[in-house]
Amino acid sequence: MDIHNAFLHGELDEEVYMIPPPSYCIKGETCFIQSQTDHSLFTLITATSLTIVLVYIDDILVVGNDLSQVSYFKSVISTHFKTKNLGPLKYFLGLEVARSPLSIFLNQRKYALPMEQNLELNDTDGDLLPNPAPYRQLARRLIYLTITKFDIVFAVNILSQFMHTPQIPHMTAATRVLHYIKGTPGQGIFFSSSNDLHVSAYTKSDWVSCATTRRSTTGFFIPLGSSPIFWHTKKYTTIAHCSTEAEYRAMAVTTCELVWLQQLLHDLGISHTAPMTLYCDNQSALYIAHNHIFHERTAPNILRSTATLSVIAPFWSLHHHSSSLF
């Protein structure tokens, strides 16, 4: 659960001491007991049930072996505060929770990512760095690290867009990437000698991800069998009118790279006769790729990309995937 308006941003000139509210009771009989080892933990134990409440400022986690007691607790709290029911536990204080009948798995994947999710950097928010040289030097070194660390490619692409006037939020984001790298300094790329030589590609576009220019960012990842060999992310030079157009452009760009890679394999004496597999998670873009019929709803920019895909379509096959590169 989440409590609305936990922070009222009031200006206080005096000291304020908070006293926990009176114990909450179930139908006037059994009451919640505050833990003496963790004052944010409250438990209610009856003959048939156990209900546990963990409170962190405005976030409340309710656990119990009797769903009726949990629902009753939520209803009582909702009569005193404006609350939001977040449903079954998935995230709590940055922890990701995965549950099954046999186990519970906790991880901090979002916190450990090189860039905070939904972070929007721009040229206007934040103070300018007094000396932009360290930021520029750091960004150049991070770009070089992307040779073997494809998991930071997207974050580095964003940071490199502010080399001209870096600001404090940009440096903060760059420092987060450094912390991420320090956690896995020896992580690299593994090439197996028993790997097959089938080429596949995963493509994705982040539509209008740039808050300043409203341009989209495209990215692709190409493994040779199970070994990664090529990855790239780049912001478009033009504005896509819809997510379908952005995804279709990403497919066209990736297909061109696949054709280049096929020629490179040929130069190395490797014959790749099987179709290269291109994965995309946008159904509309897949429909257009499979059916090259132009109509009034097809944007002119998509038509140009369609012409590209039509020429090189014999070299690859299309598939749908639900994973994300960003």
Which element (helix H / strand E) includes 264? helix 243-267
Q: What is the pTM of this model?
A: 0.61
Per-residue pLDDT of the chain (326 residues; tens, 9 = 90+): 988 875 666 777 888 776 655 555 555 566 888 888 888 898 888 888 889 999 988 899 999 999 998 998 898 888 888 889 999 988 888 788 888 888 888 877 776 677 777 777 888 788 899 999 999 999 998 988 888 888 899 899 999 999 999 999 999 999 999 988 888 777 778 888 788 888 999 998 888 777 677 788 888 999 998 888 899 888 877 788 888 888 888 898 999 999 989 888 887 778 888 889 999 988 888 888 877 666 555 655 554 554 445 444 444 555 555 443 43
217 in the same domain as 171: no
What is the C-alpha separation between 120 and 208, in angstroms, rounded? 11
229 in the same domain as 263: yes
Interhelix angle 283-290/243-267, nearest 10 degrees: 60
Hey, what are 115's tokens?
Answer: 């860039």
314 in the same domain as 207: yes
Q: Is 216 inside any structural domain?
A: yes
Q: What is the DSSP letter of 160?
A: G
90 in the same domain as 63: yes
In sequence order, the β-bridge partners of residue 318 are 278
Pairing of strands 25-26, 30-31: antiparallel
98 in the same domain as 205: no
305 touches 249 (CB < 8 A)? yes
What is the C-alpha separation between 217 and 209, in angstroms, rounded? 6
In a 3-state reduction of DSSP, which class is residue 300?
helix
Name the residue range of residue 208's domain: 200-320
Hey, what are 45's tokens?
Answer: 């134990």
What is the C-alpha separation between 90 and 103, in angstroms, rounded? 14
Q: Is 208 inside any structural domain?
A: yes
Q: Please, where are the H alpha helices in 37-148? A: 67-80, 109-112, 133-145
In sequence order, the β-bridge partners of residue 2 are 59, 84
What is the C-alpha separation between 259 and 306, in angstroms, rounded? 15
Which element (helix H / strand E) includes 159? helix 153-159
- Sign for the pseudo-dihedral over CA of 284, 115, 153, 276: negative
Q: Is 268 inside any structural domain?
A: yes
88 in the same domain as 46: yes
168 in the same domain as 73: no
Domain total of the chain: 3
